[in-house]
Structure 1
Amino acid sequence: MRPTTLRTRHGLFLAVGALCVLLNRQGLGPLWYTGVALLALSMLLRWSLWRTQRPPRERTPVRVAVPVTGRWRALNSPATKVPSHTHSHAQTYAIDLTHHPAGRPTPAFHWLRPFGVRPHHYPAFGSPVLAPADGVVVAVVDGTRDHLSRTSLPGLLYLVVEGFVRGMGWPRHLWGNHVVLKLDEGVYAGFAHLRRGSPCVAVGDTVKAGERLAECGNSGNSSEPHLHFQLMNGPDPETAQGLPFAWHYEDDDGTRHTGVPADLVHFTPAPP
């Protein structure tokens, strides 16, 4: 097994190590020591992979189009902090987008009940996801269900635990339904949390900028229907590094910008 492949399986070592410790009933014995060793190995592999996926600081943003239409809001934006998410899964410069068209409010946060809301109550659910540039489809994952939102205090607590567990697995566990598009040599775009059954492209398809790829959903590690978008320097988010990008967009005041909107900024795509 190659070192890179071994590092991406740190979650498996963590699960087996934790199981050994939990099942141990003989005190400080072989099973306990095996479990502790596997837990330590898991942490070492995860740290090593994190260092590998940490990209150089100075990189020129790649110009691409906004992959949605209408009025959206930026969350976890690289314009606010870097890494915007984490270096893991090439998410250094990733951004989350929620849809907020005029006259269509999103369900409110509740402290206790209900635990979550069905995704079709959110304007983002079913919104088209578009190719930000010409490219070739290199990965399509579908079949993961669109779950309830996590918009309550119990739901958010569950999301924290759920996110940790999902992060130990394969990309489909974290990203849910997703598409990866090769835009250029060394530039790949990832679109995550897509609606089940919505991808309308297949591996090997050539797409043009603005062409429909799928629909926004609530699959994978998602608190509510939204689009997770990122650029990376390889097709595999488990081993690639994140790349910065720049959009042309217009804020609610009508001012046009080139870059990335900061957290909580509402914007619409603007032509170059």
Structure 2
Amino acid sequence: MGSVFGNPVLVQSIKQVAGLMAMAVKYDNELPDKDSGASQVLYDLPFSGEWTVLNGGVDEETSHSWDVCTQRYAYDFVVLDDEGRSCPPDADAADPASYYCYGREVLAPADGVVAEAHEGCPNAPIALDGKIGCGGDDIRGNYVLIEHASGEFSCLCHLKEGSVAVRAGDRVVRGQVVGLCGSSGNSSEPHLHFHVQLGASFYSAPGVPIRFEGVRARPAPNYAAADPRPVPAGAYDLFPPLLTRGLRVEAAARRG
């Protein structure tokens, strides 16, 4: 009879539950929020060009994963066309390379030091039937974790296999390429998962609302075609500096 410890994804799920309990004790349920706990660091977008926030926000209604406190303020970014599609209508939707964001450069959102860099995860099968699989031994897939000032760590996940361009201990600068967008790990289709956590642990470091700078944002055309969930009234009023799903974003200016 197989052990659960032979299933790395299940082990991660158990660690996440244990981490939630540890955070409840440590923070007495007073976790960072948009009013008093937003990031001390001002972050750039971790990519160039126009992308859309498909998932994420700073309130329970818009949150990526409200009950998963490490990822409470995470974002999933994709590239959508003006019809709200993430890949061309005549493309093979089962092929990750068909998606507009696949293979695009992922950038360090601020200066820092690489704390972790994980490689070796293949793409997950595209969830055409709605069932999300996991490609590889980590739900983050291939990822880079960067330590910044004020004890903040940014996590960039689901990178393309073989694309991670940095290693633990490397010093990186804002805008440096750290990998390419892929669909590895626990991924429904190619996208970039990005969050900032207050500590190094993926399991017990709470997420913080991310203050962005140098960003242009507007409602994405035909966003409802990609995401039928309504965007709560007033959600866009939080920008700047906070983003919400349904916004098409791009860097207004990137520092050299």
Q: Distance in 2 between matches of 1:226 and 1:193?
A: 7
Residue-by-residue CA offset, 1:18-77 (whole Å, 9 max, x unaligned): xxxxxxxxxxxxxxxxxxxxxxxx998476246358623331333111111111110222
Amino acid at match of 1:107: C
Query: Which SS does the other structure have where 2:167 is aligned?
Result: coil
1:263 corresponds to:
245
Q: Could you tell me which residue of structure 1 aligns to residue 43 of structure 2?
A: 64
Distance 1:68 1:13, change over 3 A: closer
C-alpha separation in 1, matches of 2:114 and 2:193: 17
Structure-1 separation of matches of 2:153 and 2:165: 18
Give, in angstroms, the shift of residue 216 of structure 1.
0.6
Cα deviation for residue 260 of structure 1 reads 2.8
| Preserved CA contact (<8 Å) 2:88 2:99 | no
Max radius of gyration: which structure?
1
1:50-199 paired onto structure 2 within 5 Å? 51=24, 55-57=31-33, 58-62=36-40, 63-79=42-58, 81=60, 83-88=63-68, 90-100=70-80, 106-107=86-87, 117-150=94-127, 152=128, 154=129, 156=130, 158-159=131-132, 162=133, 173-199=138-164
Q: Cα 1:145–1:203, aligned 2, differ >3 Å: closer, same or farther?
A: same
CA contact under 8 A between 1:10 and 1:43: conserved in structure 2?
no
Q: 2:162 & 2:71 partners in 1: Cα distance?
A: 25
Q: Give the alignment partner of residue 215 of structure 1, picking from 151, 155, 180.
A: 180
- 1:238 counterpart (187, 203, 208): 203
Displacement of 1:211 in angstroms is 0.6
Unaligned runs of at least 5 residues, structure 2: 1-7, 220-238
Q: Which deviates the most, 124-133 or 46-55?
A: 46-55
Partner of 1:48: 21
Q: CA RMSD in A?
A: 3.6
State TM-score, norm by structure 2. Answer: 0.73
Higher helix share: 1
Structure 2 equivalent of residue 38 of structure 1: none
Q: Structure 1 residues 121 and 209 mapped into 2: Cα distance closer, same or farther (>3 Å)? A: same
Q: Is the CA contact 1:70–1:101 (under 8 Å) kept in the aligned structure 2?
A: no
- How many residues are matched? 220
CA contact (8 A) 1:142 1:196 kept: yes
2 CA distance for matches of 1:199 and 1:46? 27
The alpha-carbon distance between structure 1 residues 105 and 134, as it changes in their structure 2 partners (threshold 3 A), is: same
- Please report the TM-score for the alignment, with normalisation by the length of structure 1: 0.69
How far apart are 1:247 and its partner, in Å? Answer: 1.4
SS at match of 1:148: coil
- Summarize the alignment of residues 31-46 of structure 1 with structure 2, pairs less than 5 Å apart: 45=18
After superposing the two structures, state which structure 1 stretch, 203-212 or 239-248, moved more: 239-248
Residues 57 and 75 of structure 2 are in contact (CA less than 8 Å); yes or no, is this contact kept in structure 1?
yes
Please give the secondary structure, in 2, of the residue aligned with 1:51.
helix
Percent identical across equivalent pairs? 25
> How many angstroms does 1:108 deviate by?
7.0
